[in-house]
Structures are given as C-alpha cells and as structure tokens.
Amino acid sequence: MIVYYSRTGNTKSLAEFLKDQLSAEIQEIKTNIEEKGKINFIRAGWQAVKKFCPELSPIRVDLGRYDLVLIGTPVWALTMASPIRSFLKTYHSKLPAVGFFATMGKVGSESTFAHMADLVGKKPLACLAVSEQAIKSGSFQPKAKEFVISVRTYLEKKMCHNILLGDNSKQGKI
C-alpha cells in the first residue's frame, strides 16, 4: 500500500510511478483545508514548524492487510507535510513495515525521514528522496528503481517467511 500527500503534484507523480512499478494499491491523504495560493503556502510552512495536525478526510484502508506500507510526503520546512504528521499520529500503531519517500526543493529529506521514523516508532526499510527538478525532468527514475528493488527484495523475503509460517493471507502484499 502506498499512502501519500501531495499539495502541488510532485509527490503524487512519484507515488504513481512507485504504484506502477510495484503493482501496489494507493491511497491519497487529503484534508478539508484550502491549500492553493500564497497565503496557504505560508500557512503550510507555519503548520509544519508548529507540528500542527490538520483533520484528514476519511481514509477507508485496512492497513493490517499489508506486509508493507510506503508513505510519501513533500518536505515542508525540513520536515513532513502536516497531513502526513496527522496520518502517522493516528495510524502509527496499525502500520506494518514501512518505507518512506519524499520530494523537495533541495534539502530536508534526512530530517524529514528521521521525524517520520520517530512518529512511527520503527525504522523504515528503505527511503527515497527526490528533488522537484528531478521529478519534472524525469531524471528521478534510476534512483526510484533502486528503491523499488529494495522494496521488492523485502517483499519476496516476507512472502517466503509467510509461506513457511503457513500464513497465506498476505503473501508479500503491498
């Protein structure tokens, strides 16, 4: 399962790419807050700094059905976007293994991933950071494919493990 938030489409492009590569299910996180425009850009930055958790639109996903959830965010003020903070605070106890991906102008992915790992309470099995420029030019693909390989390797091992345990319910499900 891929869960992501995207205000202007960059993280969405990356999430869709990963979805196609991994044949994963996908869920976009949304809020009821108006997000476009300069005022809302400033508000988004302020909310990220203040660790504000906006209310999310309802999510109808049973996270327990998956072996792995990939969580994607834009970098906001060197941390995760506030809707992803809300998601992690609400659902951290239901998350299986996780991987993180982020898009950004230039900097802040490492602190973002560290803050996300703190909220989830476990280390991600892989992380992928891509610049906005690389998304727009398409040059992100080789790096994203390396991430996909790490994820696939994890899922294959998980599937073998599940079979050995006689658990046919997930079979490396993403």
Instruction: Report the interface residues with ligand FMN, using CB under 6 A.
Output: 6-12, 41, 44-45, 74-78, 103-108, 132
From the CB of 169, what's the least distance to ligand FMN, in Å?
A: 33
- Phi/psi at 66 (5° precision): -110, 150
What is the C-alpha to C-alpha distance for residues 83 and 93, in angstroms, rounded to an integer?
A: 17
Output the smallest distance, CB 129 to ligand FMN, in A. Answer: 9
CA dihedral 82, 84, 89, 94 (to 10 degrees): 170
* Closer of 8 and 153 to ligand FMN (Cβ): 8
Structural Rg of the chain based on CA atoms: 16
Considering the complex, state which of residue 109 and residue 158 has its C-beta at the smaller distance from ligand FMN: 109
Nearer to ligand FMN, 126 or 129 (CB): 129
CA distance 156 to 144: 18
| Residue number, 9 or 96, with CB nearest to ligand FMN | 9
Our CB check for ligand FMN shows the closer of 41 and 59 to be: 41
- For 149-166, b/e burial (b = at least 16 CB within 10 A) is eebeebbeebeeebeeee
- Closest contact distance (angstroms) between CB of 5 and ligand FMN is 7
Least distance between ligand FMN and beta carbon 84 (Å): 11
Unique residue bearing structure tokens 């990939």:
70
Nearest distance from residue 82's CB to ligand FMN, in Å? 9
The DSSP element (H or E) to which 12 belongs, if any, is helix 10-22
